Amino acid sequence: MAISCCEPDVTPAVALFRSLADPGRLAIVSRLARGEARVVDLTRMLGLAQSTVSKHLACLRDCRLVDFRTEGRQSYYFLTRPELVDLLRSAELLLAAAGEAVALCPVYGDPAATTTEAMPSGGAA
């Protein structure tokens, strides 16, 4: 009997990490970890179009990671799960311990870091 790589089922975890894999969505979650924010606040902070921020928020809402409350004509977005703050803190600790290795990862790291910083002579071949 073959063992599947996905036993126990890791599909929900994969979906969670994919929802956080976009730099814009991760920045939104990081900002909301500090408290509520309106779309206009997020667009100013991120320098993204309102439609882009709204799409990211819709994705995070679909994953039930954020929600909003209305006050008059304003919508205030917030994290729905306090565990998400713990996950971000754990990620910060992990990156502090292994950050350089993650940044230099040939698959997921920064391509510029792997071509210049990883070379002993500062980028000269």
Global pTM? Answer: 0.75
Q: Kindly give the parts of the chain with pLDDT less than 70.
A: 1-7, 99, 111-125
Residue 80 has what pLDDT?
A: 96
Tokens representing 87 are: 């996950």
Residue 124 has what pLDDT?
A: 40
Residue 101 has what pLDDT?
A: 80
CB 118: neighbour CB atoms within 10 A?
Answer: 14
Domains defined along the chain, listed by start: 7-81 (1.10.10.10), 82-125 (no CATH)
Q: What is the C-alpha separation between 105 and 99, in angstroms, rounded?
A: 10
Residue 112 has what pLDDT?
A: 60
Q: What is the C-alpha separation between 42 and 49, in angstroms, rounded?
A: 10
The pLDDT tens digits of the residues spanning 14-49 come to 888 899 989 999 999 999 999 999 999 999 999 999
By the 10 Å C-beta count (0-12 exposed, 13-18 middle, 19+ buried), 76 is classed as middle
Strand runs labelled E in the chain: 66-71, 74-79
Buried b (16+ CB within 10 A) or exposed e, 65-74: bbebeeeeee
Q: What is the C-alpha separation between 48 and 65, in angstroms, rounded?
A: 20
Phi-psi region of 38 (alpha: psi -120 to 50; beta: other; left: phi over 0): beta
